[in-house]
Amino acid sequence: MDPNVLEIQNLCVSFFTGEGETRAVNDVCFQIPRGKFLALVGESGCGKSVTSYSILRLIQKPGRITHGKILFHDTDGTTTDIAALSEKDDRLYDIRGNKISMIFQEPMTALSPVHTIGNQLCEVLYLHRKISKEEAEKKVIDMLGQVGIPAPERRFRQYPFELSGGMRQRVVIAMAMLSRPDLLIADEPTTALDVTIQAQVLALMKQLQEKTGNSVLLITHDLAVVAQVADYVAVMYLGRIIERGTVREIIKDPLHPYTFGLLRSLPGLRKNKSRLPSIRGTVPNLTDIPAGCPFHPRCDFMKEGLCDCGDVPPETDMGNGRMICCFRAAEIRKLLDEKRREDV
């Protein structure tokens, strides 16, 4: 059995409009180890959700995958390139929602308002299993209980509008976990929830992941969330992965200026300062990507004549599987250490 449940190799996703081709995901590579929690982190507009939708082939026109492989390694030893499957291929339907499931951002739009919770969850089992109505209801009620919903027999017959936001998010998690997927993709599952419910949902996801042994791809912009649940982190900027490593390495010792800026802007890390630092500027428009390193217009360590011209920086191995994309990779740790001392 392959140690990775999923491998993404040189993935490119473009949107074709009247203005031409806009590349939202550009040469992305990463692996999700079997039984582990990987977080894909970055600001809004960096391509995180497009990457996750690509895995399940949910990209709608005018977008499409133009290059790369999405290799799913099944527990039976077979490997399927999802990117190469046609929309009518039975293998795609077997993978989508069954072996790879997804939790979408907003639970209210993910659930039908005119069908009961029970009907919607039972449908997942009817699509992927030969199962009786009684057995399906039993499994659904059991899963609702596992995700912490009180009185699951009563909730089974209720409609989404009768539940709170936190309860609806738990229902969506139950829907995604019903088929016992090898990989669960969670696209910012706590965005619409308050802080207390966020913590409960994250703890639930981690608990289910440890119990079932599945892998999780968590899409988020919040590094504080990542520190609680993830095993590995991939940081994304303007459609590219710019840093990869274990969560301990990334949080304790970020090596890319962008990752450093994200961590530095977290509340509570600079208690002696009245103003919270932030990364200047905004993510550039995909139709106007700067030359050289795409982050250089916002980088405090940009060097003229090096960072602002030519192709994008190559991926540099910093040891122990730690990777960053930076022209100044050899000297960046020293520069960031000096910046940390200024913050103290």
Write the pLDDT tens digit of every residue in 96-116: 989 999 988 776 678 899 999
């527990």: which residue's tokens? 75
Residue 1: predicted pLDDT: 73
Give the pLDDT of residue 272: 58
What is the value of pTM for the model shown?
0.90
What's the pLDDT score for residue 247?
93
245-280: per-residue pLDDT in tens?
999 999 988 999 999 988 888 776 555 556 777 888
Predicted local confidence at residue 63, as pLDDT: 93
Residue-level pLDDT at 192: 66
Between CA 263 and CA 30 the distance in angstroms is: 21
Cβ 182 vs Cβ 99: under 8 Å: yes
- State the SS3 of 244-299: EEEHHHHHHCCCCHHHHHHHHCCCCCCCCCCCCCCCCCCCCCCCCCCCCCCCHHHC
**Which has the closest alpha carbon to 51: 29, 34, 36, 73?**
29
Overall average pLDDT of the 195-210 stretch: 82
Question: Residue ranges per domain, the chain?
Answer: 108-178, 267-343
Dihedral pair phi/psi, residue 38, rounded to 5°: -110, 130
Token look-up 């079997």 returns 34
Q: Are 54 and 11 in contact (CB under 8 A)?
A: yes
Whether 284 contacts 238, CB under 8 Å: yes
Torsion of CA 198, 98, 207, 29, to 10 degrees: -80
Cα 22 to Cα 287: distance, rounded to the nearest angstrom: 6
Distance CA 318, CA 320 (A): 7
Q: State the DSSP code for 223.
A: H
The secondary structure of residue 235, as a DSSP letter, is E
- Phi–psi pair at 187, nearest 5 degrees: -90, 95
9, two tokens: 């190799």
- pLDDT confidence tier of residue 194, bands split at 50, 70 and 90: confident
Average pLDDT over residues 275-300: 87
C-alpha angle 271/273/279, rounded to 5°? 105
Mean pLDDT of the chain: 89
Output DSSP code: residue 60.
P
Distance in angstroms (rounded) separating the CA atoms of residues 75 and 100: 12
Query: Side by side, which strands form the sheet with 63-73?
Result: 20-33, 4-17, 63-73, 79-81
State pLDDT tens for residues 204-225.
Answer: 888 888 888 899 999 988 887 8
